[in-house]
């Protein structure tokens, strides 16, 4: 977080010119004062000054950099992950016209798709928002690998054994009536 404030307003033109000169030409080393974080002390001077306060970033993108580094994502994994982080920042800022992100991460086994999902889970956990993420997969084995659930379980689909077997010999999958399907706010 960067906050800038001008400490003193000047009324005469000569002082205003001096202020503009300093702003346009930068500050000297003796113009910079460093105070400890969370310090209540304020520095008051007769000269114009700017106060900068640095704190932890609240953006998904900045936190995503740290998560990607911690999990040692490779270049392609990092790109896929950071695209999601950037989009989450846009959604978080409520930017008008932000479309839904539909992103496909594909590849054969061992290419690191699960690592991208692990990074997303770590990102949401570090933001204290793990309740806002539902991790699903198409099969039980894949769901177990990413500590998720199957899409069928998430949507409350079940195999209906009371139906007749199809021509291919497999059971039919049925969905409960649409009135019984809902996702609560936390999910």
Specify whether 156 is located in the same domain as 129. Answer: no
Rounded Cα distance, 114 and 109, in Å: 10
pLDDT digit string (tens) for 84-108? 999 999 988 888 888 989 999 988 9
DSSP the chain: -----------SHHHHHHHHHHHHH---GGG-----TT-------SS------------HHHHHHHHHHHTT--HHHHHHHHHHHHHHHHHHTT-TT-PPP------STTSSHHHHHHHHHHHHHHTT-GGG---EESSHHHHHHTT-EEHHHHTT-EE-TTSPPPTTSPPPEE---GGG----S--
Number of structural domains in the chain: 3
Rounded Cα distance, 101 and 84, in Å: 8
Specify whether 12 is located in the same domain as 27. Answer: yes
Cβ(171)–Cβ(160) below 8 Å: yes
Tell me, what's the pLDDT at 1?
35
Q: Which residue has the tokens 């590849």?
A: 107
Q: Which residue has the tokens 């982080």?
A: 85
Tell me, what's the pLDDT at 4?
41
Tell me, what's the pLDDT at 155?
87
Tell me, what's the pLDDT at 5?
39
Tell me, what's the pLDDT at 72?
94
Residues of the domain holding 30: 1-55
Rounded Cα distance, 50 and 23, in Å: 10
Across the strands, what pairs with 159? 173
Residue 179 lies in a domain: no
Tell me, what's the pLDDT at 96?
83
Cβ(66)–Cβ(119) below 8 Å: no
Specify whether 42 is located in the same domain as 78. Answer: no
pLDDT in tens, the chain (187 residues): 333 434 444 455 556 666 666 665 665 555 555 565 555 555 555 666 666 666 666 789 999 999 999 999 999 999 999 999 999 999 888 888 889 899 999 889 888 999 999 999 999 999 988 888 999 988 888 899 899 999 888 888 876 555 545 555 555 555 555 555 455 555 4
Tell me, what's the pLDDT at 119?
96
Specify whether 80 is located in the same domain as 103. Answer: yes
Dig out the tokens for 22 from the structure. 């300093």
Specify whether 128 is located in the same domain as 140. Answer: no
| Whole-number average pLDDT of the chain | 74
Residue 44 lies in a domain: yes
Residue 13 lies in a domain: yes
Tell me, what's the pLDDT at 23?
60
Tell me, what's the pLDDT at 3?
39
């Amino acid at each position: 977080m960067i906050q800038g404030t001008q400490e003193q307003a000047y009324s005469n033109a000569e002082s205003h010119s001096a202020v503009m000169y300093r702003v346009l030409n930068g500050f000297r080393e003796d113009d910079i004062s460093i105070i400890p974080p969370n310090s209540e002390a304020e520095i008051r001077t007769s000269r114009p000054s700017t106060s900068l306060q640095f704190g932890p970033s609240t953006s998904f993108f900045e936190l995503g950099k740290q998560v990607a580094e911690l999990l040692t994502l490779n270049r392609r994994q990092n790109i896929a992950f950071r695209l999601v982080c950037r989009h989450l920042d846009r959604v978080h800022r409520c930017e008008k016209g932000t479309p839904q992100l539909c992103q496909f991460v594909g590849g054969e086994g061992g290419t690191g798709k699960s690592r991208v999902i692990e990074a997303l889970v770590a990102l949401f956990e570090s933001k204290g928002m793990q309740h806002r993420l539902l991790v699903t997969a198409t099969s039980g084995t894949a769901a177990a690998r990413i500590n998720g659930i199957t899409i069928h379980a998430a949507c409350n689909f079940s195999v209906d054994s009371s139906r007749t077997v199809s021509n291919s010999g497999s059971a039919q999958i049925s969905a409960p009536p649409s009135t019984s399907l809902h996702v609560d706010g936390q999910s």
